[in-house]
Amino acid sequence: MPLSSPAAVELPLFPLPESVLFPGQPLPLHIFEPRYRIMINTVLDTDRRFGVLLWNAQTNEPCTIGGCAEILEAKRLENDCINIMTRGQQRFRVLRYTRSKPFRMGLVEWIEDEPLLSTPTTLVNEARKLLTDVVRLSGKLMDRDMQLPPLPTDARELSYWIGGAFYGASEEQQLLLEMQDTEERLRREVEILQTSLRHLAARTVLKDTLKDASE
């Protein structure tokens, strides 16, 4: 892998446990460590962008592919901490680190999905339906009326949206983030949603059975 390329840019980097940032996904953060307060203040004075990398606990290093975050709002607190709301922009690959103190900086290149030869309409519709069913059954189990916001119709944007919704599964999210084939990402997400739906359906049947037995 080359150490630099004509499209490479330098970006402040923020390794985070359990956080994988997809394009378009909101990410609120509470900044309290002194080095990252310095980083965020620097970012706010420049282009308001920094890179989010999942921290790999097995290697004790950040992953090499992450998502660029743009700060939309920032609120300074009395204790010098900062609350920020960010939104995911482009994905990137770290080519090399340029410094480590007071915070990490890295030379990165932007990465994009391969162009689609045709629109995977059937796959998009299946993913949207599965996601709707998963949310409906989740709401039933929790006795809550859960509604999805309007979902993207574009295949790539939908795949990012679904990947960002898999909270608590950061390793799977990282694999989805690193894919550069939109259809491959959507197919994997369909598999995950199908598995989730089967588990939820089984739990719903059990809940209804216990409810009927108690009446």
Number of H helices, E strands in the chain: 5, 7
Q: Is residue 3 part of a domain?
A: no
Dihedral sign (CA 128, 134, 137, 141): negative
Contacts of 199 (CB under 8 A, 6+ apart): none
| Confidence at residue 174, expressed as pLDDT on a 0 to 100 scale | 97
Are 97 and 64 a contacting pair, CB within 8 Å? no
- Please check whether residues 101 and 130 belong to one and the same domain: no
- Where is the domain boundary, 85, 111, 137? 111
64: domain CATH number is 2.30.130.40
- Please check whether residues 139 and 89 belong to one and the same domain: no
- Where is the domain boundary, 72, 88, 111? 111
Three-point CA angle 22, 28, 32, nearest 5°: 125
Q: Is residue 37 part of a domain?
A: yes
How large is the average pLDDT for residues 25-42? Answer: 96
Q: Is residue 56 part of a domain?
A: yes
Q: Is residue 116 part of a domain?
A: no
| Pairwise pLDDT comparison (74 vs 209), residue with the higher score | 74
- Where is the domain boundary, 57, 87, 111? 111
Tokens of 139: 């709401």
Any idea which residue has 């939309």 for tokens? 72
- Please check whether residues 130 and 195 belong to one and the same domain: yes
| Confidence at residue 205, expressed as pLDDT on a 0 to 100 scale | 76
- Please check whether residues 105 and 151 belong to one and the same domain: no
Print burial letters for 161-177: b (CB count within 10 Å at least 16), e (below 16). bbbbbbeeebeebbebb
- Please check whether residues 21 and 45 belong to one and the same domain: yes
- Please check whether residues 148 and 82 belong to one and the same domain: no
Each residue's pLDDT tens digit, 91-142: 999 999 999 999 999 999 999 999 998 989 999 999 999 999 999 998 888 8
| Confidence at residue 5, expressed as pLDDT on a 0 to 100 scale | 47
What is the pTM for the complete model shown?
A: 0.89
- Please check whether residues 165 and 80 belong to one and the same domain: no
Q: Is residue 1 part of a domain?
A: no
- Examine the pLDDT at 213 and tell me if it is beyond 80: no
* DSSP 8-state assignment for residue 150: P
| Confidence at residue 214, expressed as pLDDT on a 0 to 100 scale | 62
User: Which range of residues forms the domain containing residue 53?
Assistant: 9-111
- Examine the pLDDT at 85 and tell me if it is beyond 90: yes
Q: How many domains does the chain have?
A: 2
Number of Cβ within a 10 Å radius of residue 6: 5
